[in-house]
Structures are given as structure tokens and as C-alpha cells.
Amino acid sequence: MHMSTNQPEAGDKRKVEIVEGGDQGAFSTKQSRLKNGDQSGTSSGPVQDSSSKIFQDPVHGTITVTGLCVKIIDTPQFLRLRYLKQLGGGYFVYPGAAHNRFGHSIGTYYLAGTFARILQQEYPDLKDDEIKCIEIAGLCHDLGHGPFSHVFDNFFIPRVVPGSKWKHEDASVMMLKYLRGENIEVKKAFDEFDKDGTRLELIKDLIQGGKGEDHVKDERVLEKRKTRPFLYEEADNLYDMFHTRLTLHRRAYHHEVTRGVELMIVDALVKANATVRILGQNRYRKISECIEDMEAYSKLNDSILQLVELPITLGTSPQETDSGTLEAREIIGRIWKRDLYKCVGQYNLSAADPFTQDDIPGIKEEILHAEKETTFDGEQFDIILKSFDYGQKKDDPITKVWFYNKSNPEKAFTQPEEQKSWMLPKRFQEREIAIYSKKKEFEEDIAKRFRLWSNARKEKFPEIKEQMTQMPEASNQ
């Protein structure tokens, strides 16, 4: 919603508008062109619109967005990202972790454009229109996230659609296509920018990370993969950044209480999925079916918990509501009251243990039958797999980074083995599994059975004892 201020005085070439709402402190201006020294995510490419928007970002300062990207941001489909928490259930543990996908996407737009223009200084063949594609891809890469971000695609969808390979990147591409068709101003700007359709295909390929080729229809995009491989890479370059990432995952994203809340959110959505319906294109959809219908998906966000919890919103009375919805409301009520699922055991997997997410159903059966008699069933506990790494699974991330020497800037090289620090970890990935009891009366029994299982697992897959690396002898030279 825009609210115009007083008219500018004569001679003032800018018109200032205040953008209400959100946590970005955004305001917009109309200006003819950005000066080269501005901190901006805007390229000097062929598509320039007289309108621009300036966002006061808490990390990067002022970010200026122009042209086509402004039109994309102003659509209902993009504004939906204001109502998707970046860290899923983390907000219920850390109240300050309230940032959303909207702000994150604008920050990604800025960083993607900034890195691309730095690269262009060393690689002049990188065209302005390619930088614009990079910016649009950065801006739109999270359009496909569902309620509570990764909780939706990593936990909810696999529960209700077993075997599904769907990821939020797939929905991001679908939502971009839907957004373009539903908003005439965006379509006009896109058509002008992308007269032959190649740039849209490149943007879609960038969003999906250049993985696989089934979705690529244009040979020119496949050619860019060969001649512009750097368009598909991240700019990670320091161990301390990778270590910070690891620390955040361990202390916040995979915090045991965070995961407990997220398991409750998933259970509530699973139970509500049977009856809650969202209007899409000419039909109502289950929550899980919204990934097939972007009109319905564009209405799906974190507020789904409130929609399920409050009967007046659903247009039903408690007497008319099915048992699944009532159970979902009970779980949601427990979240607000902090009556949460409790982690009653954790087990660090050895490097030799092949445990994967697909093994969880079988492990649950093993725990249930660890003893003859049991006081609980498989519905009373959950198991999750946690992974902590430096961003490249088991690999050293620095092996993926290219370095340049000022004396020979034309040649890139990887870090020589002898230059690596002796203080680096021997392993760059740790994995553990955690078990959660859903009710207090079963906590002790579930914890006991988990200990029996984990002790047997240690014997089956013992930790490989690696010989300690010896420090080199001191040199007299």
C-alpha cells in the first residue's frame, strides 16, 4: 500500500513515496538513473525503469531496486514472502528470529548483483542482461517456499506424499511463471526484457542451480552452462564463514527445542491436510495439493496455523469439525502453551554409519520391538536426522573455492595442500539422530528403548579411529 507525501517543490525531480508495512523500513523514489557510486543491486542493463525502490536493509544498508524487479516485488505472489518465517520453528525459541523470506530475497538480489558486477570488471564478456538475470533469479529464488520454509518441503511433504521428489525450487520456477501471467505490468516488462524467451529460461535454470537438464528447453542456456559456469556458484571463501554457518545450524536451526516445535507444526498440518481446503484454479485443494496449483499455493503461508486453530476463519463450528482438525488444534494450542514435544535422546552417528532419512521408519520399528512389552506406539514419538557441515557435506569447502593472485589475475587456482592450516578438522560433517516423545508419560520408556537401540548401533558401526596427524619438524632455515 502506497501513501504519497506532499507534492515536491518546483525543481525537485524526485517524487517520494512511503511504503507501509513490513520490517524492512522501505521507501521508494522515482529517479532518472542511479549514480555509479550508489550501493545498489541495479545493473546498467537495457531494462531501466524510471521508478525505483530503496529498502533499508539491516545487514546491507540501503538497497536500491529498479525496473522489472520493482514490479515483481509489488505483486501479491512476492509480497506473500512477508508471511513466511525464514527459520521455521526457530521463532518459537528465539523471538528475535522473526526475519522473513521477503527481506532475505531482497538481500540475495543485492548480493547476487554486487558479486556479478565485481566479476564483470575482471570478465568484461559478462553482459549486463546476464547480470539482470542473476538479480532476478536471486530475488525470486525463494518464491516457492511453503509455510515455515524448510519445514514444509523437508518434513511435511515427505510425510503426506511419500516418495515425492518435490523441492521448493521447483515451486519457485512455477510461481515465477504464474506471477508473470497474473500481473500485466510484470508481463509487459518481462516481454520487453526477454523478447525471445531465452532470459526467462536462464533465470529458471539459475533458480534451480543448474542441476539436471530436463527443465532446460533452450540450447543457448545449456551453452551458458559451459561458457559461464561461474553464474551457478556461490562466493564462499573463508573458513570462519563456514564455521559460523556450522555454529548457527548447531545452536539455532537444529536446536532441540526448535526441532520439537517443527515436529509439532508438521503433525498439525498432517492432521489438517485431510479436511482443510484452499481455493485454487477452479477447485479446492488440500494443503499438500497446493504445490500443484500456484493460485492455491500463493494463498498458503505461516498463517495456516491460525486458520486451522480458529473455527470462525474456516466457517465451521466445533461440532461440525472432524476429529483430525480438532487434533490439529490441540497440537497448535500446545505450541502456544509451550507444552512441547521433548527430545529424550540423541546419538552421534559414526563416519561409517550409512544411516539416511529413509531408514527412519525401520528404526522406529526396531525401537518399538526392543523389548516385548511397550506402553506406547509409533504415533507417540518421532526420530529426526540432523546434519552439521561446512556447506559441502563431507568435503572441505575450500576445495571448491578459486583464488586469484594480483600478479596474475587471469589465472585461477585452488589452494595448495601445503598451505592449508594444520588446525583444520579431520571431518567436515557430523550427523546425529534425535528422538522426541510427544507426551510426558512416555518420555522415560522411550528414552530407555532409544538407549538400547543406540548401544547396539555403536557395536554395529563403531567409530573409525584415525591416526593423529603429526606436526612437521621445525625447520632451521
User: HEC states along 120-153?
Assistant: HHHCCCCCHHHHHHHHHHHHHCCCCCCCCCHHHH
Q: Which of 386, 387, 383 has its CA nearest to residue 361?
A: 383
The amino acid sitting at 324 is: G
Q: Which of 261, 262, 234, 298 has its CA nearest to residue 81?
A: 298
The C-alpha angle 111, 114, 116, rounded to 5 degrees, equals: 105
411 membership: H or E segment, kind and range? strand 408-413
Going from the C-alpha of 185 to that of each of 70, 189, 260, the distances in angstroms are: 10, 6, 43
Other beta carbons less than 10 A from residue 152's beta carbon: 27
Helices (H), 211-293: 219-227, 239-248, 256-273
145 is an active site residue: no
* DSSP annotation of 40: B
| Catalytic-labelled residue, pool 141, 168, 254, 255 | 168
CA distance 438 to 209: 37
CA distance 35 to 94: 40
Q: Are strands 51-57 and 61-66 parallel, antiparallel or unpaired?
A: antiparallel
- For 286, list phi and psi in degrees, rounded to 5: -65, 165
User: Which residues are tagged catalytic?
Assistant: 168
